[in-house]
Amino acid sequence: MDTTKDLQAVLSAVSRATGIPEAWIFSKRKGQIYYDARWIAVRLLTDLGYYPGQIADVSGLTRRHVNRIIGAVQDRNASTWRQFGQELDACRTALGLGGTV
């Protein structure tokens, strides 16, 4: 795996799907749209086979925060937040990971 290429592909896909600039995805910005973008990026990196520690290293998030996101994303995707699920699916398709998990 080429971490740099994978991270760039994920950031690009998330940026296109959410409209958030790549530089803001893992920033300290607050607000639901930024949280969604971060959560989608973490989920995609997990789907690509990265461990929480690796994701923490490249994202600037703590390992604990990454683990909380990973645990919560499945519940969030299954809930009524349709836009989150649509954005996640669009990113997964753009990365060639298929549709919904």
C-alpha span between 60 and 78 (Å, rounded): 27
Q: What is the pLDDT of residue 60?
A: 92
Question: Which is nearest to 55 in space by CA: 11, 101, 99?
Answer: 11
* Distant-in-sequence, close-in-space partners of 88: CB < 8 Å, separation ≥ 6: 17, 40, 43, 44, 77, 100
**Counts of helices then strands in the chain (DSSP H, E):** 6, 0
C-alpha span between 2 and 69 (Å, rounded): 23
Q: What is the pLDDT of residue 84?
A: 78
C-alpha span between 40 and 13 (Å, rounded): 10
The residue ranges of the chain whose pLDDT is under 50 are 101
Q: What is the pLDDT of residue 66?
A: 95
Q: What is the pLDDT of residue 89?
A: 86
Q: What is the pLDDT of residue 95?
A: 87
Q: What is the pLDDT of residue 21?
A: 95
> What structural domains does the chain harbor?
3-94 (1.10.1750.10)
Q: What is the pLDDT of residue 1?
A: 59
